[in-house]
């Protein structure tokens, strides 16, 4: 009888521990997780699209500065890969914002496409500074001016170092979207940005080390 009692007690304790562990596990899974939707969005999605449009636009402006520069073929190919990936992403995110009834932010690319020079774009960045200063990896107007005026001997290394920092900021922003975004396509794009730009960061670090 004592043996039976001990067996039942052990069984009860085991069930208690199992249920307790399961409960803790459920809490861990649900904590900080946003259920995504193919149609609905939240404030995190709006912030991600608005900020990343401006962030990508600056990356494309940095790519523009590589034109007519004597770069290693690997660096020039990387710059073109960045253009090929990020230009369509800007269009996609701008379409989302329009569809949500949100404003599409003005970017330095708007001025560049209007035929203004980098000095004008730097002035625009100063005007936009309040909205972009908090974006991870975003270059200042002075940074962009320094890159544009760098000698050919210094340009490539400066560009790679700045683009590494810029990409790291984009990855940070994309991770925030993965954690807090609701709109499924935006969360998926964030994952693509993390994957592609992390790979490019590794490539640029190798080029700098070489």
The per-residue pLDDT for 33 is: 72
Q: Regarding the domain with residue range 41-209, which homologous superfamily does it belong to in the CATH classification?
A: Ferritin, core subunit, four-helix bundle (1.20.1260.10)
Q: What is the mean pLDDT, run by run of 10 residues, along the chain of 210 residues?
A: 41 39 33 81 98 98 97 98 98 98 91 49 49 86 97 98 98 98 98 98 96
Beta bridge partners of 183: 37
Which residues touch 107 (CB under 8 Å, ≥6 apart)?
A: 53, 54, 57, 58, 128
Domain ranges across the chain? 41-209
Distance CA 105, CA 87 (A): 15
Cβ burial of 57 (10 Å; 0-12, 13-18, 19+) is buried
- pLDDT score recorded for residue 134: 84
Contact between 174 and 70 (Cβ < 8 Å): no
Would you call 183 helix, strand, or coil by DSSP?
A: strand
Per-residue model confidence (pLDDT) at position 112: 52
What is the predicted pLDDT for the residue at 121?
A: 46
């Amino acid at each position: 009888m004592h043996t039976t009692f001990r067996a039942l007690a052990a069984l009860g304790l085991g069930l208690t521990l199992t249920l307790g562990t399961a409960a803790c596990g459920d809490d861990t899974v649900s904590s900080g997780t946003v259920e995504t939707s193919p149609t609905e969005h939240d404030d995190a999605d709006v912030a991600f699209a608005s900020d990343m449009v401006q962030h990508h636009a600056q990356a494309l402006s940095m790519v523009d500065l590589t034109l007519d520069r004597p770069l290693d073929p690997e660096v020039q190919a990387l710059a073109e890969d960045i253009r090929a990936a990020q230009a369509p992403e800007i269009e996609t995110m701008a379409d989302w914002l329009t569809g949500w009834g949100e404003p599409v932010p003005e970017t330095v690319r708007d001025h560049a496409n209007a035929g203004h020079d980098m000095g004008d774009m730097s002035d625009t960045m100063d005007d936009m500074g309040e909205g972009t200063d908090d974006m991870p990896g975003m270059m200042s107007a002075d940074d962009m001016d320094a890159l544009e005026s760098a000698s050919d001997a210094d340009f490539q290394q400066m560009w790679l170092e700045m683009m590494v920092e810029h990409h790291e900021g984009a990855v940070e922003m994309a991770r925030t979207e993965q954690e807090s975004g609701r709109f499924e396509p935006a969360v998926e794009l964030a994952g693509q940005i993390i994957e592609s730009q992390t790979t490019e960061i590794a490539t640029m670090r190798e080029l700098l080390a070489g």
